Structure 1
């Protein structure tokens, strides 16, 4: 009996049975620089504007001190002055409007084609197997190399400009749409079929609604890509648009005017992107918790 009690006491007091101390966790960093820590309400805009003004101030100081050559890197104040002069004397805002119409026309055409094709590529493996190699091949082709072919096919009118903008957007967007469709869980389709939905209803009412938030975000990104091809599209026998203005100023080494056109493209893109972000947040408020 004594031996059994001793054995029991040894087992109870063995190191294997002694609870190990809890692992010491590193203290979480506090403040706005903690990983994924949200900023206080309204501070996003304050930080963004403050950082932008700081960059412009440093740029202005560097240019004013003569650390850069004005011909190659003018000060922000010089660029803004050139932009104001171009607005009053060279119809810069009209050129911006023409470029905006071209970009949106090509982008909407690409979106209307890419969304159904991308859904079909992901939803039906036969379609994906047939189209994906061609899409992958074409999306790696440099758009500037296709300018001569575009001129041969469409001439030097608006069709060529729209085609080049479409070409730089469609083949990237169609794969993003296919990926969005591919990420819809199969369980969604099974539940839809269980409650009596047919294939068309499962695509329209289940899959499309599930992929819509990510789809809208990818459309916003693709619109930015479309703007990046504007200069290429508007150097083809163009007499209007921001690309034409920038290219014409480049011939005479008018660097402030070149940078004014570039800055205006950036401002239009930034305003459009922020508007689409706002619409995304308003339309999909249920994603904030996620």
Structure 2
């Protein structure tokens, strides 16, 4: 007799259940893999738990609102700042400053870092100075930057650039040093010149880590925003936070901090997508 046919819809349901178990199991395995949907769900759940506990602690009176307002109070302040205080304009101004400084730092750091690792005379000449300057605290250089550039936009962009360039250039140099020497030897064997070694071998090999380092240093650039925008500023998220601090408007201070965090989160995720788009083989 013929075998009875399986019930319709039974196998797909079993397949989905098995896929879900595999995805959840990957979350707890060492260097395990999971689906992006499951990871997003876990991220949202974790954030909801933290916000829920924060809100409950605030409503129970365990946290003084003048020190740490509740998420609902921060959300209300964010709405008021958006509708009545031109928060969107300040966000646009700060974003423009950060990207101007970051792109300038990247445009300078990438070629300089590559040259530092490729030619020892360049590395010997520049690396000690860069190591010295990158340990200088940016806030301590605010008075000098005002003396050099005044209190205009140049000073703000310079401070953001200062906090980014000297870190990024050494990361780029390290990326260049990690290019396997075998790649260079094989390229020279087939007749590649210095320009081809740079463009077709080195840059292609260091591309994934270079993009990761750009993503990391962009986050560092945002961390210097408050320092840059307290220098005679009349616009920007840092200016908004600083003004709210003066009048002890803690919900508005927290709202400004949350905005910076959200901008950073969105930007970071977009750069991650870009990384996966260009380096699918990793």
TM-score, L = length of structure 1: 0.88
| CA displacement 1:169-217 (0-9 Å, x = unmatched) | 0000000000000000111111111111101110111101110111001
Which of 212, 215, 229 is residue 217 of structure 1 equivalent to? 212
CA contact (8 A) 2:26 2:33 kept: no
Shift of 1:41: 4.8
Instruction: Measure, in 2, the Cα distance between the counterparts of 1:45 and 1:139.
Output: 36
Shift of 1:39: 2.0
**Structure 1 SS opposite 2:227:** helix
Name structure 1 gaps, 5 residues minimum. 1-29
Name structure 2 gaps, 5 residues minimum. 1-24
Which of 141, 163, 166 is residue 146 of structure 1 equivalent to? 141
Deviating 4+ runs (over 2 angstroms) = none
| Aligned pairs, number | 258
Instruction: Measure, in 2, the Cα distance between the counterparts of 1:118 and 1:31.
Output: 38
Instruction: Measure, in 2, the Cα distance between the counterparts of 1:32 and 1:182.
Output: 34
Which of 102, 106, 127 is residue 97 of structure 2 equivalent to? 102
Shift of 1:258: 0.5
Decide which structure has the larger Cα Rg and report it.
1
Q: Which has the higher helix share?
A: 2
Alignment correspondent of 2:202: 207
Which of 256, 263, 272 is residue 268 of structure 1 equivalent to? 263
Alignment correspondent of 2:238: 243
Instruction: Measure, in 2, the Cα distance between the counterparts of 1:107 and 1:40.
Output: 32
Provide closer, same or farther for how the CA distance between residues 31 and 221 of structure 1 changes in structure 2, counting only shifts above 3 A. closer
**Structure 2 SS opposite 1:38:** coil
Shift of 1:42: 1.5
Alignment correspondent of 1:49: 44
**Structure 2 SS opposite 1:224:** helix
Alpha-carbon RMSD? 0.9
